[in-house]
Amino acid sequence: MSHRKSPFVVGLAAAALLGLTSMAQAAPATWTIDPNHSNVSFTIRHFFSKVTGSFQKYSGKIVYDPANVAASSATAEIDAASIYTANEKRDGHLRSPDFFDVEKFPKLTFQSTKVTSQGDKLIIEGNLTMHGITKPVTLEGAVLGANADRAGFEASGKVDRKEFGIIWNRTVDQGGAMLGDDVTISIAVEANSEAAEAKRAEMMKKAAAGKSEAAK
């Protein structure tokens, strides 16, 4: 008796395998933001042009479930003192009580409350705490791609700085204000999977142990 499987049986087995693979790929995953390959920037009007700055220190996690986007979430924490606009004097002013008042309010935080999809886009609603004030904000985001170790995300939105108590401005001679109220936020993220983070932590632990042994 022949033990050869019919093309029909082989086809069913292949279909089942593909189905299981798709389910595995669609499973929810937790990603840790890699600050070395990410960027958190902002843009604000200054007189008639725009000035862009960024934050250099931040952390966060993203939970993304492609099969159930509503189960996705995002959290982030930003070091306010890490603000950078390529101008030392301006950066110092931004850290002062006129703006972020970083000694009193050292952190900015974001916690999503709802994630929905609109075609290829993600609508991320959440609470942003800045300058000691928490307000709801909405970001428009997207998943740029992923493999077993890394994923790419982006998001952008706009906030009114005055709603967060950052009201400093200066009237110009011709009328009007030196600074705009609306701040555009742009976020580009490369994030590591939990497995990749665990591997990186183990490598760092071994490296530290090696240095300790060498110092003896």
Domain residue ranges in the chain: 27-215
Separation between Cα atoms, residue 165 and residue 105, nearest integer Å: 12
- Cβ atoms of 60 and 78 within 8 Å: the answer is no
Fold of 27-215: Lipocalin (2.40.128)
Q: For the chain, which residues score pLDDT lower than 50?
A: 1-24
Q: Which amino acid makes up residue 38?
A: S
Structure tokens at 87: 């101008």
Single pTM value for the model: 0.81
Convert the pLDDT of each residue in 62-112 to its tens digit. Answer: 999 999 999 999 999 999 999 999 999 999 999 999 999 999 999 999 999
Instruction: Quickly count: other Cβ atoms within 10 Å of residue 177's Cβ.
Output: 12
Separation between Cα atoms, residue 66 and residue 124, nearest integer Å: 14
pLDDT for 13: 41
Separation between Cα atoms, residue 187 and residue 209, nearest integer Å: 35
pLDDT for 64: 97
Nearest C-alpha neighbor of 150 from the set 101, 108, 199:
199
Residue with the two structure tokens 């700085």: 161
Element (H, E) at 121: strand 121-130
pLDDT for 97: 98
- Cβ atoms of 158 and 139 within 8 Å: the answer is no
